[in-house]
């Protein structure tokens, strides 16, 4: 079932469309303000830079943190500044480097996360004073206690105030690229929820743009202040922004209707058995129910064809998010109703039949925990290619030579020996595309995008998780097939699904975005353009 358009809210939605810089600096003054009516044009929603975050990342630059410089291709001044900071000398700079070494974690992402949390709870330069009481500081900020004093000295020594003014125009250009898609997220999300946001001081949703965080998105909320720090502006980052914005819109509801939500708590006894359910949900049912609601709304916003929706719900069930399925069913009723989500929410929760869900899940076999990443091996210790790898390489070579018949024979031979091998199924699907056998290609691509089924469950689908590169390209090709069959809505859903695959290669994202922007039109093969539409892709 498709989500029905809510056209009547067009005028009302205008009140919370992003206004550039409308909340800039609001966080630092909130503690001193008394409750009052918001100023005209205030939305509480903004995309902006953050000078505290900039200063903190400059300190990490000087300390030698391995930042993602790929995001700085369009910011030459900021890249040059990073190189200058790496060469800096001085007592404050050495203090930064010593503090960084003493607080370094094994995971660079966790190290960065700590400093981002710190930057979001300190005030502006030059003093960098914490904006909350000491006993209210998040653990990551407490772990860096004392860094604020070092940062004050470094800010002066590195003349960051002057340096900030020199690079700020580059940040402004990056922000200008973020604002339109964020505006669309806000409008479409509120239209679906039928909510007209009533802004108030102290409740904010801010996207901070800081390119050196690269592809690592960092979402935080401190009370009513929600913030997500983004670097690279990819489609995947927009998905994360929408997820964060849904938290901003929906988080208050389980708290407001605590009694109604807690009546469904017996379901957590089932969900907590799932090895992949994050541990923070095992003892916090309100947060668990909130996350399931957000996942359910995301699925409805995607307007997935029924087969893909069923696959996504199966994956949620097997991962422990068992409330997503009944919430999706209740959202389908919400879409036909009239009240806004803030009024309909009690009915949404009341519609979940705990006893029926317990019966449905009595024999559920949750998927095992994700295996820990294998330790890296040196090139000298790398294992020689197996017979399977050699056969797959042969099939890939035949596809590259557009020898569809030979590729088909090779991949069918592999599947006879290694049933359900995803790489062989994908190769056979591509060979089917080359042969013009769209039905066979569609069958294979659909099988590849179905989540892994647990052993012994009797469910069809790959036994092991499929490489995200294969999943992303399978969605792209399914979208192209639908476009060729004049099924534009289904095609767009597939392209969007490709954009939402975590770990999808950039070439697949580009192809998917082209598919969203305009229907696929076959073009002649060009050996010098492997990313163009119509060119079979091997992950």
Q: Which CATH superfamily is domain 386-517 in?
A: Tetratricopeptide repeat domain (1.25.40.10)
Residue with tokens 């996942």: 295
pLDDT one-digit tens code per residue, 223-254: 888 999 988 666 777 889 999 999 999 999 99
Res. 456 pLDDT band, cuts 50 70 90: very low
| pLDDT of 376 higher than 60 | no
Is residue 539 within 8 Å of residue 467, measured between CB atoms?
yes
Residue 40 binned pLDDT confidence (cut-offs 50, 70, 90): low
Q: How far is residue 312's CA from residue 441's CA, in Å, rounded to a whole number?
A: 21
pLDDT in tens, 96-110: 999 999 888 888 888
Here the tokens at position 190 are: 């509120």
Question: Quick one: tokens of 455?
Answer: 């052993």
**Contact between residue 470 and residue 422 where contact means Cβ atoms under 8 Å apart:** yes
The answer to whether 229 and 210 are in contact (CB under 8 A) is yes
Position 237 scores a pLDDT of: 79
More confident residue, 529 or 86: 86
DSSP track, 188-229: HHHHHHT------TT-EEEEEE-GGGTT--EEEEETTEEEEE
The CA distance from 147 to 63, in Å, is 13
Tens digit of each residue's pLDDT (9 = 90 or more) over 504-521: 776 677 778 888 888 987
Q: Which residues contact 190 (CB under 8 A, 6 or more apart)?
A: 9, 13, 16, 196, 197, 249
222 phi, psi to nearest 5 deg: -120, 95
Q: Is the pLDDT of residue 270 over 80?
A: yes
For residue 159, is it left (φ>0), alpha (ψ between -120 and 50) or beta?
left
User: Hey, which residues does 379 pair with through a beta bridge?
Assistant: none
H or E, element range at 227:
strand 225-230
Q: Which residues fall within 8 angstroms of residue 260, CB to CB, at 6 or more apart?
A: 346, 349, 350
Q: How far apart are the first and last CA of the chain?
A: 32
Strand 204-209 to 225-230 pairing: parallel
34 CB-contact burial (10 Å; exposed 0-12 / middle 13-18 / buried 19+)? exposed
Name the percent of the chain lying above pLDDT 70: 80
Torsion sign across C-alpha atoms 515, 518, 520, 522: negative
Alpha carbons 246 and 279: distance in angstroms, whole number: 21
70: pLDDT confidence band, cut at 50, 70 and 90? low
Average pLDDT over residues 289-297: 97
Coil, strand or helix: which one is 8? helix
Per-residue model confidence (pLDDT) at position 251: 94
What secondary structure letter does DSSP report for 374?
P
Could you tell me the pTM of the whole model?
0.63
Neighbours of 199 (CB within 10 A): 18
Task: Give tens-digit pLDDT for 310-320.
Answer: 999 999 999 99
Is it the case that residue 445 has pLDDT exceeding 50? yes
Q: Which strands, in side-by-side order, build the sheet including 45-48?
A: 45-48, 204-209, 225-230, 218-222
Write out pLDDT tens, residues 87-98.
Answer: 999 999 999 999
Quick one: pLDDT band at residue 451, thresholds 50, 70, 90? Answer: low
The mean pLDDT of the chain is 81
pLDDT in tens, 127-186: 999 988 887 888 888 889 899 999 999 999 999 999 999 999 989 988 988 889 999 999
Reference 534, options 455, 430, 457, 459; nearest CA is 430
Nearest Cα residue to 478 out of 426, 517, 405? 426
Element (H, E) at 367: none
Higher pLDDT, 469 or 55: 55
Q: What is the pLDDT of residue 9?
A: 26
8 Å CB contact between 478 and 450: no
How far apart are alpha carbons 168 and 18 in whole angstroms?
20
Does residue 535 have a pLDDT over 70? no
Instruction: Give the mean pLDDT of 515-530.
Output: 61
Report CA 425 to chain centroid distance, whole Å: 27
pLDDT of res. 246? 96
Spans of all domains in the chain: 9-26+40-247, 252-360, 386-517
Q: What Rg do the C-alpha atoms of the chain give, in angstroms? A: 25
DSSP string, 454-477: PTTS---S-SSPPPHHHHHHHHHH
Q: Is the pLDDT of residue 84 over 50?
A: yes
For 17-81, the DSSP string reads S--TTTTTTHHHHGGGPPP-PPPTT--SEEEE--HHHHHHHHHHHHHT----GGGGTT-HHHHHH
Report residue 199's pLDDT band, with 50, 70 and 90 as the boundaries.
Answer: confident
pLDDT-based confidence at residue 267 (cuts at 50, 70, 90): very high
393-398 average pLDDT score = 76
The pLDDT, as a whole number, for residue 32 is 37
Determine the Cα–Cα distance for residues 70 and 60; give it in Å rounded to an integer.
17
């Amino acid at each position: 079932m498709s989500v029905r358009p809510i056209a009547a809210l067009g005028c009302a939605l205008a009140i919370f469309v992003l206004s550039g810089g409308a909340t800039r600096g609001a966080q630092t003054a909130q503690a001193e303000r008394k409750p009052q009516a918001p100023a005209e044009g205030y939305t509480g929603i903004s995309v902006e830079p953050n000078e505290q975050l900039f200063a903190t990342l400059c300190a990490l630059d000087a300390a030698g943190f391995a930042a993602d410089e790929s995001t700085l291709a369009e910011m030459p001044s900021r890249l040059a500044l990073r190189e200058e900071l790496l060469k800096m000398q001085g007592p404050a700079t050495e203090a930064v480097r010593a503090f960084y070494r003493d607080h370094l974690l094994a995971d660079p992402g966790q190290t960065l996360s700590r400093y981002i949390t710190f930057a979001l709870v300190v005030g502006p330069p030059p003093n960098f004073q914490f904006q909350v009481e000491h006993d209210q500081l998040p653990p990551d900020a407490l772990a860096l206690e004392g860094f604020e004093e070092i940062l004050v000295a470094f800010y002066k020594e590195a003349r960051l105030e002057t340096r900030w003014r020199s690079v700020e125009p580059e940040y402004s250009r990056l922000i200008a690229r973020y604002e339109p898609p964020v505006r669309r997220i806000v409008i479409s999300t509120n239209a679906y929820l039928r909510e007209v946001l009533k802004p108030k001081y102290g409740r904010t949703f801010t996207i901070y743009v800081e390119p050196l965080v690269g592809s690592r998105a960092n979402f935080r909320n401190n009370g009513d202040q929600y913030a997500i720090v983004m670097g690279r502006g990819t489609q995947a980052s927009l998905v994360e922004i929408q997820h964060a914005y849904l938290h901003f819109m929906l988080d208050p509801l389980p708290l407001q209707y605590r009694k109604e939500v807690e009546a469904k708590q017996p379901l957590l006894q089932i969900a907590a058995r799932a090895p992949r359910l994050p541990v923070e949900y095992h003892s916090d049912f309100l947060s668990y129910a909130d996350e399931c609601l957000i996942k359910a709304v995301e699925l409805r916003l995607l307007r997935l064809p029924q087969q893909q929706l069923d696959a996504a719900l199966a994956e949620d069930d097997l991962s422990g998010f068992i409330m997503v399925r009944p919430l999706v069913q209740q959202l389908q009723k919400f879409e036909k109703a009239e009240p806004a989500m803030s009024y309909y929410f009690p009915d949404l929760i009341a519609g979940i039949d705990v006893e029926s869900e317990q019966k449905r899940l009595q024999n559920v076999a949750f998927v095992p925990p994700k295996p820990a990443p294998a330790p890296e091996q040196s090139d000298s210790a790398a294992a020689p290619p197996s017979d399977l790898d050699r056969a797959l390489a042969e099939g890939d070579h035949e596809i590259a030579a557009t020898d569809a018949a030979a590729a088909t024979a090779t991949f069918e031979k592999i599947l006879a020996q290694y049933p359900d091998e995803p790489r062989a199924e994908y190769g056979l699907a591509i060979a089917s595309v080359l042969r013009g056998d769209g039905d066979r290609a569609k069958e294979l691509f659909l099988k590849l995008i179905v989540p892994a089924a647990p052993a012994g469950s009797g469910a069809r689908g790959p036994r092991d998780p499929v490489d995200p590169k294969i999943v992303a390209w399978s969605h792209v090709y399914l979208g192209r097939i639908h476009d060729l069959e004049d099924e534009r809505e289904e095609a767009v859903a597939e392209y969007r699904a490709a954009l939402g695959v975590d770990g999808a290669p950039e070439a697949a994202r580009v192809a998917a975005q082209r598919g969203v922007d305009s229907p696929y039109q076959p073009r002649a093969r060009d050996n010098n353009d492997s990313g163009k539409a119509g060119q079979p892709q091997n992950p």
